[in-house]
Amino acid sequence: MLSMQPIGYVRSPYKNVREIPKGLGAKHPAEGVLEILAEFEPGLTDIEGFSHLFVIWAFDRAEGCDLVGIPPTDDRPHGVFATRSPRRPNPIGLTVVELLGREGPALRVRGIDMLEGTPILDIKPYLSNVPQERLRRGWLAEAEARRGERS
Ligand SMILES: C[S@@+](CC[C@H](N)C(=O)[O-])C[C@H]1O[C@@H](n2cnc3c(N)ncnc32)[C@H](O)[C@@H]1O
């Protein structure tokens, strides 16, 4: 078994999962705050220089797990590891946010898709060296194409 402790909590405008945008093309413009616990604040040293961050967090209000399910972005089933479903064997979420500013242990960010009070497990600078042309979007690209065909 692994044991982890939150390094902080998300202050989010979303109190209920129904308020969070979902489905194909959903945007996440919401702003919020990553409130880091005082004991971990030294770990934020030099974070201001990064425009975007990976936030690793716990789906603390998810129940159960579906190894195969139909996501809100499609009408066909997919394996959990090919989706971003909250109902996974280890309920870990990953969100890329834009860093708007820092006030001590509080990081103001844009791009929140978590509920108020979500526990944060880790933060890392967003860095990617995968060229755009090497990225494949799997079934999502197919679902988008089908939607385009229907509309
Ligand atoms: C599709 S998941 C994607 C989350 C993250 N970007 C990822 O890829 O891991 C986002 C959904 O998780 C759910 N959610 C957000 N915060 C949660 C929490 N603390 N516990 C359980 N479910 C949560 C909401 O239904 C939200 O629409």
Lowest mean pLDDT among 88-97, 100-109, 117-126, 127-136: 127-136
Residue 141 CB less than 6 A away from ligand 1: no
Dist CA 117 CA 35 (whole Å): 10
Q: Write the DSSP assignment of 80-114 as a string of letters.
A: GGGS--S-SSS-EEEEEEEEEEEETTEEEEE---S
Please state, rounded to an integer, the average pLDDT across all residues of the chain: 95
Kindly give the distance from the C-alpha atom of residue 70 to the centroid of ligand 1, in angstroms, as a whole number. 15
Domain locations in the chain as residue ranges = 8-150
Yes or no: is domain 8-150 CATH 2.40.30.70? yes
Mutational test site, ligand 1, from 114, 120, 137, 140, max ligand atoms within 8 Å of CB: 114
Residue 83 CB less than 6 A away from ligand 1: no
Tokens of 36: 């880091």
Percent of residues, the chain, with pLDDT higher than 70: 98
pLDDT at 151: 58
Mutational test site, ligand 1, from 9, 12, 15, 20, max ligand atoms within 8 Å of CB: 20
Cα–Cα nearest to 109, from 20, 40, 35: 35
**CB burial class (10 A; 0-12, 13-18, 19+) of residue 135?**
exposed
CB 112 within 8 A of CB 97: yes
Residue 73 CB less than 6 A away from ligand 1: no
Tokens of 47: 């974070």
pLDDT in tens, 41-62: 999 999 999 999 999 999 999 9
Residue nearest atom 6 of ligand 1, based on CA coordinates: 95
pLDDT in tens, 66-104: 999 999 999 999 999 999 999 999 999 999 999 999 999
pTM attached to this predicted model: 0.95
pLDDT at 148: 82
* pLDDT (average), residues 17-38: 94
Dist CA 4 CA 146 (whole Å): 41
Question: Does an H or E element contain 55, and which?
Answer: strand 52-58
Residue 93 CB less than 6 A away from ligand 1: yes
DSSP state of 73: T
